Structures are given as structure tokens and as C-alpha cells.
Structure 1
């Protein structure tokens, strides 16, 4: 299997934005392992980077900080209002960071409160226009759960994007409906950016097959999507499959 960066077709000048639910931070950090010159940041509140980067700089001027800091991967954020979180930047600031040459740039662009599936509300997700690849995520483990707040962030929005009623069990088609919907996983993706959905947490034979079913359904619903990744992002070999139309 290819590495994660190979499967996403990202490299030195890429701006990758992770949205959705079920592994955004892990995807960003996995890419940072592949791309050691990376800069890691966010457009939303994010847990502290910790040992996932070589150095963290908390600043309102990330462009200057990226120019001055030599350590990579470099984490950039603003000081948070809680001891365990940083604040992200406005998407326009991230655009400036990308224009300055601080790439590859890896961006957490959504929040989901550790849930397994999400549909965005109005104004979400805050994706910078410089994005070259956007990765809408969902966890295959959400299949079989009822549509409630325990497993899903914004379940009312998920119900609006699918034919699923509150409290009913989530099936593969419902996950695909969310990932492939222009007001779901494909929302706010800039012109020219590739949308590559990721179905994560496929770490058993059963979940791999379910994730592949979700991926195939996404490709049926969204002609603009070139491929869907099936992943187990916490593993050393995170890419399980790359599902295409061929």
C-alpha cells in the first residue's frame, strides 16, 4: 500500500485540510510523519500538539514565526482559552501562511467533539482558499450506532442530509450520503482543490469491507471525488485501500 502522503498525492507545496469526524488530528500527524518539513496548524480550536511536532509557536503572526523557526514539523497556533487547547487562525491568515511558502501545510479545519460522524452547520467548515487537498473524514465504527449525539456531532444535520430518522441505526449508505453531500463532506471545498474522503478506523476484516462499501457509494454519488481512502490511521501502515472507479 502507498504511504498516506502518496495516497493523498500531497507533497512539498500542498495545503491539506482535514474536516469531518473520526481522525482529523491523527491524519494531520500521520502526514507530518511522512512530510518532515511540514507546518501544522488549525482554523478551529485544537488540542495541544504535544510531542507531535518538533516545536510549537503560539503567535498572532504565524507568517513571521514560520520564517524564523527552523524546526520541523512546526506547530503554529494562538494561545487558547483553556489549558488543553489552542486557538486556530482565520482561514485568510492560513492563506497568507501558504502564500509565504510555509508548506507543506497541514490544517485541522473542523471540530467534532470526538464523535464518529459529523455534518457541518452553517458557516462550517472554515477551509482556507489555498487548500489543495481536503479530506472529509468519517469513522466506519459509526455504522450500527443509532443516530444520536453519543456517536454523531450534529445529528439533526445528518438527518437532513440522509433519509435517516433520529434514533435509527446508521448504515453504510448514510455515511456515504454525508461524505458525498455538497452540504456535508464536500461543503466549502475551494475551486481547484481535490476532495479525497477518508473512511477511518478500518482495523478488522469486517470494518474494512464496510469501509469499502461506504467508499464505493461515495464514488457513485460524487463524480468530483477521484478516490476514497480506507484507513487505520493509528497504525504504522495507515492506508488499507485506495478505492477508485477503475
Structure 2
């Protein structure tokens, strides 16, 4: 069994240490919580539910504020940034045959970017069920964009969740590029303690199959562990080399953060495929409340 450490973060160089003093909240941003090297010259894919898109854009904002050029895209569909009032510097729409050249031209223009930028790339704009969305690119094309090395960081959304806090992947998802260095698997803390049914879980049948559970069972830490570690679970289709980080989002009370700590410790002490756990509240200025990692 691997030891589990918890980071009392003041800067990126702090050592891990045990925290047995209850729900101590460490308010830091995502870059501080995971380390800058997680994102720079890397491709990160976000999967799951419970605020995944909000965390992706929060990460993009932080990298932008630190002076980096960030690309945001998807291998499925995401909302048009104006729908959710997401920050961005420019939106590049081009089909698969033209996107590489369009991106090279956009990033090479001195007038286009100041110190730091957020570029959102998509193949087309769609109106689905009266909602404005962006259609993304194949995993292979995202790998090709990464290999251009014209962006400091690439952030990719790899599946959808229909606004649910917890889900199991469908047959053809998540779609994760092979060049992905880190996969963030996101679960909303409001799902813990809820009953397993069609109102709380997206892709209910797959979820029950993956977690060996039944309808109206409670979603507890044991169920979550099965979701995290199952071959067809939260980190399905992740490259072997990729770092896997479980994100427990919606930690907006001391009670929810305390419960998330216990859940995170339990999962990592079971020698989970996850290398660490972030407890977050994406809507906050400093979204990372606590970090638990294998030592």
C-alpha cells in the first residue's frame, strides 16, 4: 500500500504532510494545487461530471493570468463560450483540413495576443436543442495540434455529462488524445450520499454495471472507488503514461470538504489508479481547497 500525504500549500515547494486536525482548508489555485509542470508544454484532458467545464476554464484563466498562451478545445461538444460567459481571447472555427494552418497563423500574429491568451478552437458552431455549442476534433487531430508546439498548454474536454455530478462513460467515450499527459476525472461532491437513480447519475445502466451496484443503492466511497478504478470507469481510455487525478468538485462547505478528505484518503489508500485527489470548488477564486496525493 502506498502512503498518502496531504499538502499544506503555501507555494509549489511545500512538502507533503499528514493532516489529522479536521477540515483545514488550503485556499490555492489550480496551478499551485497541481504544479505548473502539469500544464506547461502538456495536453490535459478533463472527463466526468460535476463542474468539469468550469474547472477547465478556471485552469485556462489561471494560465492566461500567468502569461501563458492556452488552447481550449474538445473531442466532443462544448457550449459556445458566450453562453456561459467564459473568458477567451479568440475563437477559431475551421474544419479538420484547415485548423492546423489557421491556428499557426493566429498564434504567430503579434497583434492577436498580448501577454497570455486563451484560444478556443472548434470545427463548427452548432445549435442543438436551442443551445449554442461548439463541435470539436478527433483525438488524432488534437494530438497533431499539440505537436505544433505553438501553445504553452492544451486543455481538452473529453466527454459530456448533461449537467450531472456523476456519470459512467458511454460506449464511445471519453475520447482522450494519446498525447494527454494528465487526465482530470471530475465528480461532484453533491453526488456522495445520494441514491443511484436516473435523477442523480448520467448513464445509469453503465454506472451500475461499472460499480457493481443496484438502483437506489447509496453512492458512497466504495462505489466511487469502483468508478475510479474500473477499466470502463472514470479514467477509461486514459493513456498508460498519463497521470490520473481525481477531482472532487463542489466543495463549498466545511462539511463537504471534510467528507471529501476522508473519501480521498480511502481511495488512495486502496492503491487506486489515481495518483492524487484535488478537493475543489470551481466557482471560487482559489478553487483548490485541499490536495491529497500518494507519497
* CA deviation profile, 1:179-203 (whole Å, cap 9, x unmatched): 2322211211112211111010011
Residue from 95, 108, 119 that aligns with 2:157: 108
Residue from 224, 233, 244 that aligns with 1:175: 224
* CA deviation profile, 1:161-181 (whole Å, cap 9, x unmatched): 224211232223222321232
1:215 aligns with 2:215: no
Q: Is the 8 A contact 2:228 2:274 kept in 1?
A: no
* CA deviation profile, 1:116-156 (whole Å, cap 9, x unmatched): 10111222110000101100110110022221121211111
Aligned counterparts of 2:101 and 2:179: Cα–Cα separation in 1: 18
Residue from 129, 136, 159 that aligns with 2:208: 159
Structure 1 length normalisation: TM-score?
0.94
Q: 1:196 to 1:178 in 2, by over 3 A?
A: same
Please name the residue that 1:200 is paired with. Answer: 249
Give RMSD over aligned pairs: 1.6
Please name the residue that 1:53 is paired with. Answer: 88
1:79 aligns with 2:124: yes
Point out the structure with max Rg over C-alpha. 2
Q: Is the 8 A contact 1:78 1:87 kept in 2?
A: yes
Deviation at 1:57, TM superposition (A): 1.1
Structure with greater strand percent: 2
Residue from 27, 31, 54 that aligns with 1:26: 54
Aligned counterparts of 1:6 and 1:63: Cα–Cα separation in 2: 31
Q: Is the 8 A contact 2:78 2:135 kept in 1?
A: yes
Aligned counterparts of 1:172 and 1:206: Cα–Cα separation in 2: 15
Deviation at 1:80, TM superposition (A): 3.0
Q: Which range is displaced more, 161-170 or 26-35?
A: 161-170
Residue from 60, 69, 72 that aligns with 1:40: 72
Q: 1:234 to 1:68 in 2, by over 3 A?
A: same
Aligned counterparts of 2:231 and 2:258: Cα–Cα separation in 1: 25
Please name the residue that 1:64 is paired with. Answer: 101
* More RCO (CA 8 Å, sep 6+): 2
Aligned residues: 246
Q: Displaced runs of 4+ in structure 1, greater than 4 A?
A: none
Please name the residue that 1:128 is paired with. Answer: 177
Q: Which range is displaced more, 67-76 or 214-223?
A: 214-223
Task: Give the SS at the match of 1:84.
Answer: strand
Structure 2 length normalisation: TM-score?
0.79
Task: Give the SS at the match of 2:215.
Answer: coil
Is there any run of 5+ residues in structure 2 with no aligned partner, and where? 1-8, 10-27, 107-111
Task: Give the SS at the match of 2:91.
Answer: strand
Aligned counterparts of 1:185 and 1:54: Cα–Cα separation in 2: 31
Please name the residue that 1:143 is paired with. Answer: 192
